[in-house]
Each structure stands twice: as C-alpha cells, then as structure tokens.
Amino acid sequence: MRLYGTDIASRLMLGTAQYPSPAVLAEAFRRSGAGIATVSVRREAGGERAGAAFWDLVRGLGVRVLPNTAGCHSVREAVTTAQMARELFDTPWIKLEVIGHADTLQPDPFGLVETARILADDGFQVFPYTTEDVVLAGRLLDAGCEVLMPWGAPIGTGLGLTNLYGLRTLRAQFPGVPMVVDAGLGLPSQAAMAMELGYDAVLLNTAVAKAGDPAAMAEGFARAVEAGRLAFAADPMEPRDMAAPSTPVLGQAFLE
C-alpha cells in the first residue's frame, strides 16, 4: 500500500485511545502488525510535555504515526491542531476530522473541504475523515487530498458497513485513489467485507481497545484484512440467483 509516496506493509491501521493499559496497547500493535498508529494531538500537553511518556510509547511501536484532529468542530480549530501536530510529531501527515454533528460525529462537509484546502496549500498530506458521498470525495481530491477515508458507520458504534451501495459506488468512481474505511467497524468480518469491496485498508480503534482481549481482537482484524484483500485480488465469482451444480453432470449414468 502506497500513501503519499510512502510504502506501508500492513493494510491495518489502529488507533491508540481507550486501551486498558500501555502494555495492552503495545501488545495489540505487536500481534496485529499494524503499519500506522493514529494519535490525537490532545493527548500531548504543551509546556512541560506531560504527554512525553505516551509519545515515547508510540515511538516504541515502530510504526508510522498519523496524528489526527479528533474533536475539532471548526476550520480554525482543525487548522491550529494540525499545525501543532506537525510540530509535535515532525510529520506532514494529518488525519483531518472536522465534526459537524454532535450525536453521529458526522463530518462537516463544508468545513472539511475548506480545511483540507488550507492544509494542502500549507504542505500537509491530508487524510480526510469523510462520508461515502461521491460529490464530497471529488471536492476533497480537488482540494489536494490524495487519500480518502470514508466511514463505515459512526465512530465507536461497531455497526460495520451501513451503506454498502455508497461505499461500492465511491470505490468504483475513483478506482485509482487510495481509500481507507475509517470508523464504525466492530468485527473482523466487517473489515474483511471492506477489503473485498476493493478498499485499500481499514482504520479502527474502539473495536480493539474495548474488546475483552484487545490483543487477540487486533490479531483477528489483521487476519481478516489479509483474507479480504486476497479475496478481492483473486477476482471473486459473481453471485447468481439460481443454483448451479458444482459437480458436472456430463458423463453421469442415467438409470431408467
């Protein structure tokens, strides 16, 4: 998988929030083989760098860091947070979130496009958290984004892929654009389904961090992502409305 000119071995991305302990977080990353860790800038405090211990933990994971603007509800807030993230984590990568609805945490499409354009013009490599809206996706690409991250379902719900038609249409509309299903996944089977649709990766947090055994769940998602990608690459059979015998009938004996 190639994102903004960088090759990433794993197609699984994991968040770093809500784990019961740092040790569990580290073990989940180890067993998943995840190639990217998303980190909220709000975990780091200015001045005395109260979050230094957490940052040391993340660096110890040995993965690419994708800071995000989680919790931002305005263009100004998201731009400021992204600038802080670039200074703090020394990376042009930013997962852009501009939340427009408090209950569903659905992105604000207007603020998202405006912020993406501002950040892209400032040299950021933007990973926008968006919906499966095809028009919005086109606007984000025009704004300078080279990756799209549509949701599967609202953040933290575990509902899976709630709009298969929309996700399938989006993937087909922009076949050459790297796309990551971000948010709403609750089970490895849902991640496999996203990969079977042709998506390049999945990003999740709550489904692993809140599992009874986060490390085992992380490994389960890793295997599902690999299986889904293999299935997509194998060119699956088309579904049929009628049964078709798997054993040929030609040459069979007929008794009268």
Catalytic residue among 3, 16, 93, 95: 95
Alpha-helical segments (H) within the chain = 22-32, 52-60, 75-89, 109-121, 134-142, 164-173, 188-196, 206-209, 214-233
User: Does the CA dihedral 143-108-166-192 come out positive or negative?
Assistant: positive
Q: How far separated are the first and last CA of the chain, in Å rounded?
A: 60
- Tokens 């980190």 sit on residue: 39
The Cα–Cα gap between 87 and 90 comes to 5
CB 141 within 8 A of CB 105: no
Nearest-angstrom CA–CA distance, 208 and 118: 33
Instruction: Let me know if 210 is a catalytic residue.
Output: no
Cα→Cα distances 74→91, 107, 159, Å: 22, 10, 27
SS3 state of residue 222: helix
Residue 227 CB: number of other CB atoms within 10 A?
Answer: 16
Measured between alpha carbons, how far is 12 from 205 in angstroms, rounded to an integer? 11
Contact 151, 182 (CB under 8 A): yes
Cβ–Cβ contacts within 10 Å for residue 49, how many?
11
Binding-site annotation: residue ranges for 1-deoxy-D-xylulose 5-phosphate? 156, 183-184, 205-206
Catalytic positions: 95
